[in-house]
Amino acid sequence: MILIGLAGWGDHDDLYPDGTPAGDKLKVYSRHFPVVEVDSSFYAVQPERNIAKWLRDTPGHFSFVFKAYQGMTGHARGKLPYATADEMFDSFHLSIGPVHRAGRLKAVLFQYPPWFDCCKKHVELLKRTRERMGDVPVALEFRHQSWFRPAYIEKTLAFMEREGWIHSICDEPQAGEGSVPTVERVTSHTRTIVRFHGRNAEGWNRQGKRDEWRAVRYLYRYSEAELEEWKARLIRLEKQCEEICVLFNNNSGGDAASNAKQLQQMLGQEPEPLPPSQIELDS
C-alpha cells in the first residue's frame, strides 16, 4: 500500500476554501490525504489538548508521522526545558501516547542534522535513542553523506534493520556533505517512508533566519517526468514492504499539495475533489 501526504497541513493554501479557520484545516486536509507529517512536534513537545483535537478532527483510518523533538536529535540550541534526557523522552512519549495507542502512529521521524556524521559516538547515540523509544515505531533520516558512502552504506542499512529503524528515503538536492543520495532500500518489511524535499541545490545550503531559509530551501516543483520516475520506484519499494508513506515537503512555493495530487493520480489514487462551495466543516 502506498499512502501519500504532506509535511504539515497549515500552509497548503490550495487545499482550503477562502476563509477556512486554521483550527479546521486538518479536518479538510484529511479529506484529501490519509497521512500527515506533524512538524510542530519538532519545535515543541505538543500538549495533550492538541493531540486530542487532531484525533477528533480526523477519521479513524487517518494516520500521523511525528517529527522527533529537536532536543532529541541534537538540533536544539541553548537551554532545553528539561532537566535530563530521560525527562525529555518521557515527555515526548506522553505527548504521542494517545496516537500510538489508537493505532494511528506510523512513526516518529528522527531527522538528524547535517553535522551528524557516521562515527562510533553517533552510532552509540542511535542505539540509546532506539532503546528509549521502546515499542514506538521510529524512522531515521540522515543529512550527512558519510552514512551512505560506498564504504559504509551496507553497514548503515544493516545497522538500521538490526536496530529496528524504518528507513526514511529522501529525494533532495545533491549539494555536498549536508545532503544524502536517494537510497532505494528498505530496512523494515512493515513500513518505509519517502520524503520529497525538492531539488533546489542553490537554496539547500542557504544560510539565514529560519523563515528566510525555509522560503527558499524547499522551493521546487517536481516535473511530470520526475514523478513518473518515482512512480516506478515506489512500485518497486512496495514489493519489499507492506506500506510506503510518501510525504511531500517541497512547499516553499506552495507546490507540495499539487505534486502530491499528481502522484496520487499516477498511481490510480483519485480522491473525490472537494469544491469549496460544497465543503461543510462540521459534517
CB-facing half-sphere around the CA of 42: CA atoms within 13 A: 15
Tell me the domains of the chain and their CATH numbers: 2-272 (3.20.20.410)
Q: Amino acid letter at 120?
A: K
Question: 6: Cβ–Cβ under 8 A, 6 or more apart, which residues?
Answer: 12, 29, 33, 36, 37, 247, 248, 249, 251, 256, 257, 260
pLDDT of residue 275: 39
Give the mean pLDDT per block of 10 residues along the chain (283 residues): 96 89 94 96 95 96 97 86 93 97 98 94 97 97 95 97 97 85 96 94 66 69 96 96 96 89 92 47 43
CA separation for the pair 258, 227 (Å, rounded): 12
pLDDT of residue 130: 97
Residue 55 confidence (pLDDT): 98
